[in-house]
Structures are given as C-alpha cells and as structure tokens.
Amino acid sequence: MKKKFKKILKNLSFIDWIFVLLFLFISIFSLFRFRRKKAVVYVDLTFKHQEWLEYPLPPEYWQIVAIKPGDVGYNSMGRKVAEIVEVNKMYWGADRSYLEMVITLEGTYDNNIHSFVFDGNPVLIGQELSLNFGKTKFVGLVSRVYEKLEDRFSDYRLATGEILVKYRNFEPWHAEAVKDFKVRNSEGEIILETVKAEILPAEMITTNDKGEVFRQFHPIKKDVILTMKLNKLLCDELTCYFNNYQPLKIGHEFWASSERTYIDAMTKEDPGSIVDMKIKYLD
C-alpha cells in the first residue's frame, strides 16, 4: 500500500501538486471558518480602575467629554469594529465623572473555547479593552457581554426603591437646591427624585476647657435629610445598585448628580450616609 501511494506521489505533475495544495488550503480555511464565525455582540464598558485605591478615581472630564452615542471605532486596517450605542456619565467631583457605555463590537465566535473573540483575545468580564473613537482613546473594563439588548440585565433582578439619607454641613443655598433634586439617565428617564426634604440647623460637637463634650448648632450651615425615590435598580442575591454600580446599604455613602446640583458624599470629611431604605422588586 505504501509503495502504491509513493508511486502515485511520484507520478503527480506540477499542476497536480498545485491542485493538491489548493485543496489542502481550502480544507484548512473551511475548518478555521467553521470554528470561528463572524459575530457582533453588545459589550458594556466602564472606566479602568486603579487597583491601589480604595475608591477608584474615574476619568477626568476632558478624557470623556467627546464620547457620545453613534461614535465609531476603527481597527488599524480602517475597518469599523465598534459603535457606541449608549453613554451614561455621572459627576463624581473634582472635575471627574463616572462613565459607562454600551457598544457593539465586531469579532468572531470561537466554537472551541465557546467565547467571543476580538483582536485575537477572548472578550471576558473584567478584561481591559482599548478602543479609539474619533480623537478619543478609551481604555475600559468589560462589565457585561451579551448578544441582544434585552439580555443586558438578564443576570439581575429589577427593582425600585426609596432611601432616607442624611447629609451634614450644607450651605443654605445648596440645601434649598436639593429640595427639587432629579437625576436622569442617558435616555432621559428619571432614575432618582426627591420625595421629601427636611432642612435643619447643622449639628456641631464642641468641647469646653474641661474637655466636656456638647452638642450645638451651626448658625449658618444646614443638615439635610432627604427621602429619595430610586428607579431602575439592579439587584443580585445580596445587594441592589443605583445607576448600575452604586451599592445601596444602610450606613453606606450615597452620592448623585443632576443638571442643577449634586450631593457629593465621597469628598466630604463627614459624608452623608443611608439611614433607611425600602426595596420593591419588579418580578
């Protein structure tokens, strides 16, 4: 049998060898195409975290101000590989903003590893992804990967809620401004609004020359107790999250920003915290 096979190989002409090699090439290419199919998926990206910080600093405003829905990302060959579907920004303080975006990403689906692949690497939750959108380079972390928009929050329970939060040492005009406090998402939907605002003289702790502690009230500054309604909460088994990433726990700091003002718990020496909360699941 071996001798017969060797004889056949010896009798092959140059043209025959070309056809053999062409057949092998087509076979290998077809096998590769079967294992990897073109695919487009939705990917949620958040900003890249600094692991050495307890509270990661979000990007500065100038890094993300130009990012908007409809922006297109191209690869090095000039081919469109990504498009921004949704952008959600939230003021953090000190000229920085949280950012989360939804993009479509074009790549391949590898049947061997059962994973979506982009630029030669599997796209996994927690993985760093770098893309260029116009004049902006964005480096973020993958927080979700899904095939259809309706599957975006399929791993979470949806809920609404009401929280009671106490903030200390507000300037009087700031206290008045948060009476009508509303936060909208990128789609214009109200996700937070003030239901009730109680404005009180700001409490102060003082001591006398004997070291005795007294409670007094500031002549100008105010403490504010806000009751706020929250919509579109995402909940896992243990925690519900406001605006997709901010955990809701009694005693936990709470901050938010509207077009008019903000409540900033992260940069104050005496941050506001959640006093009470109620959660209502929608399913």
**Domain definitions of the chain by residue range:** 36-151, 157-281
The stretches in the chain having pLDDT less than 50 are 5
For residue 157, which of 45, 41, 279, 252 has the smallest C-alpha distance?
A: 279
* Rg of the chain on CA atoms, in Å: 28
Indicate the SS3 state at residue 260: coil
Dump pLDDT digits (tens) for 235-271.
998 899 998 878 999 998 888 888 888 887 555 555 6
CA distance linking residue 120 with residue 125, whole number of Å: 16
The length of the chain in residues reads: 283
pLDDT the model gives residue 109: 82
Q: What is the pLDDT of residue 26?
A: 61
pTM across the whole model = 0.73
Identify the CATH homologous superfamily for domain 36-151.
Aminomethyltransferase beta-barrel domains (2.40.30.110)
Measured at the alpha carbon of residue 246, what is the angle toward residues 49 and 239, in degrees to the nearest 5? 115
Q: Tens digits of per-residue pLDDT, 135-175? A: 888 888 999 999 888 888 888 999 999 999 999 889 999 99
Q: Residue 223 forms beta bridges with which residues? A: 200
| Rounded to 5°, angle at Cα 61 from 96 and 90 | 55
CA 31 to CA 269: how far, in whole Å? Answer: 62
- Torsion angle in degrees (nearest 10) through CA of 85, 91, 93, 96: 20
Angle CA(236)–CA(87)–CA(260) in degrees, nearest 5?
95
For 59-67, the CB contacts below 8 A with 24+ separation are: 59/96, 59/97, 59/99, 60/95, 60/96, 61/95, 61/96, 61/97, 63/136, 63/138, 64/89, 64/97, 64/99, 64/136, 64/138, 66/133, 66/134, 66/135, 66/136, 67/99, 67/101, 67/133, 67/136, 67/138
